[in-house]
Structure 1
Amino acid sequence: MQSVGLAMKNIIIGMLLGVIMGGAGGFALGIFAFPYLFPPPPLNETVAHLDTGERLARGRFIHANPSDPVHYGRGGVSVYPALVHLEADFEVGPGPKYHVYLVPGDVTGDTAVEQTMFVDLGRLRAFSGSQNYPIPAGVDLADFQSLVIWCEQFGVLISPARLEVP
């Protein structure tokens, strides 16, 4: 009789642990899958109405690691004295907590971006479409040769763009 009570107690504990573990796993999977299932709509911001000044640099986003089908980027970027403009053809693979960084040097898949003196321009607002990001006052654009999309949550380079003076 005592072993039946102990077996019943173990079954209940096992069921509770299963519910807790399943709930935690489902929550974690939901956080990962959310940007894929419910991406923000594409943006269509322009620079025509802004007093941006002359374009200082241009670049194109590239697929940093072609063997990784999830983390990719493409499209153009223009840099003005106080503004970074991701152009209408901009697109990256969806994911959580993407940020736009100005980074010194030429960024490749092997660059330790998180250990450089980058400038965080803010969180990426959409996975595609034209977007504007103000450059903080006092930032010397001559110190930065790349713009990257970086996943802060997982510390992963999504896509770099080498900035070139036209």
Structure 2
Amino acid sequence: MKTRKIALLAASHLFVAFIGFAIGIYALPILTAPSAPDYQQVSQAAAKAIFETEFDRQRSGSDLFHWGEGKVSINQSSIAFVGELAPGPDYKVYLSPTYVEDEQQFLANKAAMIQVGEVKTFDNFLVNLPAGTAIDDFNTVVVWCESFSEFITSGQYQ
């Protein structure tokens, strides 16, 4: 009887520790996120847009915890996003020459993509493109979680 009680207590404590760890992984990026760029900065970049697209929750690779929703504007020097992303760690922005909307497509085409920046905010973002980035060579903006190899969202702009 004593062994069964110890096993039950150990299992319950491990379960609670696991739940706490999972909540911590989800909450830490929210707690440590810097302030989002102000709306004026994002609007100025969006006003220079050459291309525009939308992130929406309906991508086949998006789900309850991995999604983006809002307007994306691309110009020669930056990508501006007005909207909201699901909170998470280590988000990267890629430009892809082919449209992708799930993890398998992303991984199959990653070699042809370029990583253009990081996203550390979940309400709006502004990513400066590396000098010489030829946005005409690509047609899709992708947000990807590098730490967990999770597709977040994408938008095809041409």
Relative to the length of structure 1, the TM-score reads: 0.69
Is the CA contact 1:53–1:81 (under 8 Å) kept in the aligned structure 2? Answer: no
Structure 1 residue runs of 4+, over 3 Å off?
Answer: 24-28, 47-50
The DSSP-based 3-state class of the residue aligned with 1:126 is: coil
Give structure 1 stretches of 5+ with no counterpart: 1-13
Offset at 1:59?
A: 0.5
**Partner residue in 2 for 1:114:** 107
**Partner residue in 1 for 2:89:** 96
RMSD value, Cα: 3.7
Give structure 2 stretches of 5+ with no counterpart: 1-6
Aligned residues, how many?
Answer: 153
Q: Does 1:124 align with 2:119?
A: yes
User: Equivalent of 2:78, from 53, 74, 83?
Assistant: 83
Change (3 A) 1:122 1:28: farther
Change (3 A) 1:137 1:66: closer
Change (3 A) 1:135 1:97: same
Structure with the largest fraction of helix: 2
Q: Does 1:162 align with 2:147?
A: no
CA distance in 2, matches of 1:26, 1:109: 27
**Larger Rg computed on CA atoms:** 1
